[in-house]
């Protein structure tokens, strides 16, 4: 099916061809291996979100959705940790120069590096959380974590929570809704992600307010 679709796509639309090639693995016996490889490499260098394969596999076998979502979460954090370590090893200036030569469709990541670093400096928890949960490139924040002097344990801990929320929620939707979940995710998932971030921010703010109230600090 993917080959047929690729034949209808102009040869210069490489990103769309790569998307179809990734998706076709969901229909093969190597789907789980492909999911692990994509989950690990996406935060390092692959411009196709792992959600593509998670959704494809969950759509084919909804009752295995939780297994797919958890597997993707674990290996995605592993990939992010590898990118974090590579960023430290290569050095900040070299990482910035590398991203200046990378574009994802109309988006040039070089333009986003300094914005990401600024967000890291001011809101390191939320910078990691938002990149792990929403379409904001997790790859960019993984590579820049070391440069921003974020604790690697903090990066891993926050990534585990929010990557699991992201892929786990997709898996749960397919587990309970089956094919109907695909339309829901395509239409509402990004909005739902933003709502989750807002709710978490409100919870943290409420906890800080209560803490100050009871401690008098």
pLDDT in tens, 90-102: 887 788 888 877 6
pTM of the model: 0.77
Model confidence pLDDT, tens digit, residues 120-172: 888 888 888 888 887 678 888 999 988 888 899 999 999 999 999 999 988 99
Would you state the pLDDT for residue 217?
A: 46
Model confidence pLDDT, tens digit, residues 8-48: 544 434 556 766 777 788 888 899 999 999 999 999 988 78
Read off the DSSP letter of residue 181.
H
Could you tell me the residue range of the domain that residue 81 belongs to? 2-215
Q: How many domains does the chain have?
A: 1
Largest Cα–Cα distance in the chain?
67
CA distance 84 to 155: 9
Segment holding 184, helix H or strand E:
helix 180-215
Would you state the pLDDT for residue 206?
A: 57
């Amino acid at each position: 099916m993917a080959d047929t679709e690729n034949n209808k796509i102009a040869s210069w639309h490489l990103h769309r061809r790569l998307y179809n090639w990734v998706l076709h693995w969901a229909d093969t016996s190597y789907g789980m291996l492909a999911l692990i490889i994509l989950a690990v490499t996406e935060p390092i260098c692959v411009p196709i979100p792992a959600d593509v394969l998670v959704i494809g596999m969950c759509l084919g076998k909804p009752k295995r959705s939780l297994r797919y979502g958890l597997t993707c979460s674990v290996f995605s954090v592993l990939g992010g940790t590898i990118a974090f370590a590579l960023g430290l090893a290569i050095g900040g200036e070299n990482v910035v120069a590398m991203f200046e030569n990378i574009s994802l469709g109309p988006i040039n990541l070089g333009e986003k590096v300094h914005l990401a670093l600024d967000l890291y400096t001011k809101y390191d928890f939320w910078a990691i959380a938002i990149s792990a949960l929403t379409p904001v490139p997790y790859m960019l924040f993984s590579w820049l974590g070391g440069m921003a002097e974020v604790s690697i344990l903090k990066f891993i801990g926050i990534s585990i929570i929010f990557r699991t929320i992201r892929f786990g929620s997709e898996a749960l939707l397919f587990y309970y809704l089956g094919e109907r979940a695909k339309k829901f995710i395509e239409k509402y998932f990004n909005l739902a992600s933003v709502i989750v971030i807002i709710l978490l921010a409100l919870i943290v703010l409420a906890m800080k307010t209560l803490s100050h109230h009871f401690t008098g600090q």
